[in-house]
Structure 1
């Protein structure tokens, strides 16, 4: 189980092992150069700092959406709610109109999905290299939670956490 010195952990082994750790599912949205909405799903989202208010997410270098978000420098991080599996699957795919068929609206000039559990409006503070990804740091300009149960990614699938009442 423990890697021997001089050996390399493979991508599948790392994916499988990290899959044991549940993460929330978020969608990062912005606008492309043509003014059309763009977005991508991330499960590598976390808060970074309370003062100043910073968050981060990781975007694959292979992403065709990330360059648009990076160029705009403004984005929304939307934490998906338990009933938004379809949105998670749509935004996880590459290409196509990811907003077609989904309920959304404009929020301060950025595309916002309806029915999320929370939303953060951010400006891009910085980008750092991270292997086959880039680490994007956003300064939070506005934040709102809506009290909806979150969607969670764990062990290769999408899940809903039991309500606190059900766990008692």
Structure 2
């Protein structure tokens, strides 16, 4: 699955006013009517336990320059938000500078092997004018429109 390009996002929730989050790459849109998304979390995830309790989920789709945040939130630890600028929205923590934000009410949790699939009904969604951070072949990158990749000046065409 490392050969499949995925968006990188930080999933969050607020519990008693305190933000919690983790980096996820198993995220996608699910439905337009009603607007829904899905993501998967390991059964042992601390965030999953909190999402079960709060019923709220925020998805911060990171921007191309936010690989440092992706790495920070991928680690275990108590205060991943210490150096992150964030605000409370839709019952979750919204990270500043993200390419997109999706605030959700958790509508269902479905067992899926060693993970749990979280279905979220979208309460609020916004997108910035920023290229998304992607993960492919165990490295971070970003999307480059195909027409730009045909240009010799594009970093994509040089394998950068």
Question: Considering the TM-score relative to the shorter chain, is it more than 0.5?
Answer: yes
1:78–1:120 CA contact under 8 A, matched in 2 = yes
SS at match of 1:76: strand
CA shift for structure 1 position 26? 0.8
1:37-116 equivalences under 5 Å are: 37-116=19-98
Aligned residue for 2:4?
21
Give the TM-score taking structure 1 as reference length: 0.83
Larger Rg: 1
Which of 121, 139, 154 matches 2:136?
154
Superposed CA RMSD: 1.5
More strand by share: 2
Q: Are 1:118 and 2:117 matched, yes or no?
A: no
Give the unaligned 5+ runs of structure 2. Answer: 151-160
Give the unaligned 5+ runs of structure 1. Answer: 1-17
CA shift for structure 1 position 90? 0.9
**Structure 2 Cα separation of the partners of residues 166 and 50 of structure 1:** 30
Aligned residue pairs total 150
Give the TM-score taking structure 2 as reference length: 0.87
**Structure 2 Cα separation of the partners of residues 160 and 93 of structure 1:** 22
